[in-house]
Amino acid sequence: KSGFIGIIGRPNVGKSTLMNQAIGQKIAITSPVAQTTRNRLRGILTTSEAQLIFVDTPGIHKPHHQLGEVLVQNAKIAIESVDVVLFVVDGTVACGAGDRYIADLLIKSETPVILGLNKIDQQGSNSQLIDDSYQQLAVAHQWSIVKFSAKTGTGLEQLQQLLIEHL
């Protein structure tokens, strides 16, 4: 099995960190500053079962200016050109307008989606409420949901299995 996985999500949710952890190399540029990833970067993970080609993308947000529109256009192209979308969200904050904007883009596409709840290492006492907000989104669109920490690596094996199942 082999396929392209598009890592999609708002700026700063941990997309590039996830790609680096998943492939075990520092290729994507991560930064606490939003929008460091201007261009789509690729990383390949070869396991005994499959070859996963991750495509890191710039964060998607509602465009407020022309560069923003170009980024959203590129994201749409990325969504169409991969086999599976990994929609990464920030598990330290509840589902918001930015996530729903992206969800609306994703449901217009035929590409299968996995919802990835990241930063679980940093979740606090309100984690149940936050998880529920994303669970609702996933259930509404019949998306699989998986929780992990791109930073510590917790949950990345289950993520890998789920990705392989979706190829």
Kindly list the residues in this chain that would bind Mg ion in the complex (CB under 5 A): 15-16, 37
63 binds, among ligand GDP, Mg ion, none (CB under 5 to 8 A by kind): none
10 annotated binding-site participant: yes
Q: Which helix (H) or strand (E) holds 163?
A: helix 156-165
Q: Are 1 and 51 in contact (CB under 8 A)?
A: yes
User: How far is the C-alpha of 146 from the C-alpha of 131, rounded, in Å?
Assistant: 10
Q: Are 66 and 26 in contact (CB under 8 A)?
A: no
Q: Which residues of 75-102 are buried (b: 16+ CB within 10 A; e: fewer)?
A: beebbeebbbbbbbbbbbeebeebbeeb
The binding track of 72-111 with respect to ligand GDP, each residue x by CB under 6 A or -, is ----------------------------------------
Length of the chain: 167
Among 61, 149, 159, 163, binds ligand GDP (CB under 6 A): 149
Query: Of the two residues 71 and 163, which places its CB atom closer to ligand GDP in the complex?
Result: 71
Among 6, 23, 30, 55, binds ligand GDP (CB under 6 A): 30
21 binds, among Mg ion, ligand GDP, none (CB under 5 to 8 A by kind): none
Q: Which residue is nearest to ligand GDP (CB)?
A: 14
The binding track of 111-130 with respect to ligand GDP, each residue x by CB under 6 A or -, is -------xx-xx--------
Q: Are 126 and 92 in contact (CB under 8 A)?
A: no
Query: Of the two residues 138 and 159, which places its CB atom closer to ligand GDP in the complex?
Result: 159
**Burial of residue 16 (number of CB atoms within 10 Å: 0-12, 13-18, 19+):** buried
Known binding-site residues equal 9-16, 56-60, 118-121
Q: Which residues does the annotation place in the binding site for GTP?
A: 9-16, 56-60, 118-121
